[in-house]
Amino acid sequence: MRDSRETFVNHAFVTGYPIKHSRSPLIHGYWLKQLGLPGSYRAHEVKPEEFAAFIASLKDGTSGFCGGNVTIPHKEVACRLVDQPDELSQELGAANTLWVQDGKVHATNTDGRGFVANLDERAAGWDRTSTAVILGAGGASRAIIQAVRDRGIKTIHVVNRTVERAQELADRFGPAVEAHPMGALKDVMTGAGLFINTTSLGMDGSEAPAIDFGVMASSAVVTDIVYVPLKTPILAQAEVQGLAIVDGLGMLLHQAVPGFELWFGCRPMVDADLRQLIIDDMDRH
């Protein structure tokens, strides 16, 4: 029998392969210190062939963790292996946040919530448009499409080099989503109120194609899920052409909020000091 005076301390993780470059420990460590909470959050590398055993250790309590984050390449496998994935993660086929409750491993996906929370903070009113354009149909686009659709955007144009991949997403997420080849980009952008880059174009200073943002609504918002560099070539183009822009760093910060609350019992705030902490780390690396 446990001593009733025993203090329970929760420990959480971020797992992937590789995982050493994750900034999640910085984010959660900041909140633990700011809120004066006991507990820890650390990177825990797990190879793909060992991931099923890791999930089993969460279930039986031998891992020592109360939950954590899952990133590449484990998101899809996690959704299949947990006991209770929620509706969001089931539709996406991928989970990024796990927690143990009553001996069962639960899962959700907070990427979409992080995306819209970032826009709400930095471009309030972005959801008054009826039309959005999403560039890219890779894994990162799924949660974005889901979140924009669930926010009430009536028409979501997904543009991709391989139109078949865009069509797969249209089939998955329903009639609000339309698939297009790259050649249709200017046409679908005309009059649209939201442009989202979900590709790796512009990441780490790589080049991005010239895009005519002038055809969009004058009140349009352009955002990019890439956050290194903070102002990507796509965002720089849109800004020069007079449109409001939102960088992708806030998505990383806001998607971390629900998990922290689940594991440590307190809802943290995304503030300017946390944002600067991550920017400083980006500058060092």
Q: Which residues are catalytic?
A: 75
Q: Is 239 annotated as a binding residue?
A: no
Q: Is 93 annotated as a binding residue?
A: no
Q: Is 129 annotated as a binding residue?
A: no
Q: Is 71 annotated as a binding residue?
A: yes
- Strands of the sheet with 67-70, listed across from one edge: 40-43, 11-15, 67-70, 97-101, 104-108, 84-85
| CA-CA-CA-CA torsion sign (6, 9, 10, 11) | negative
Q: Is 83 annotated as a binding residue?
A: no
Q: Is 165 annotated as a binding residue?
A: yes
Name the H helices within the chain.
24-35, 51-60, 75-81, 87-92, 111-122, 139-150, 163-173, 185-189, 233-240, 249-255, 257-264, 272-284
Is residue 12 within 8 A of residue 37, CB to CB? The reply is: no
Is residue 160 within 8 A of residue 178, CB to CB? The reply is: no
Q: Is 276 annotated as a binding residue?
A: no
Q: Is 49 annotated as a binding residue?
A: no
Residues flagged as binding site for shikimate? 22-24, 71, 96, 111, 227, 255
Enumerate the known binding-site residues for NADP(+).
87, 136-140, 160-165, 225, 248
Return binding residues. Answer: 22-24, 71, 87, 96, 111, 136-140, 160-165, 225, 227, 248, 255
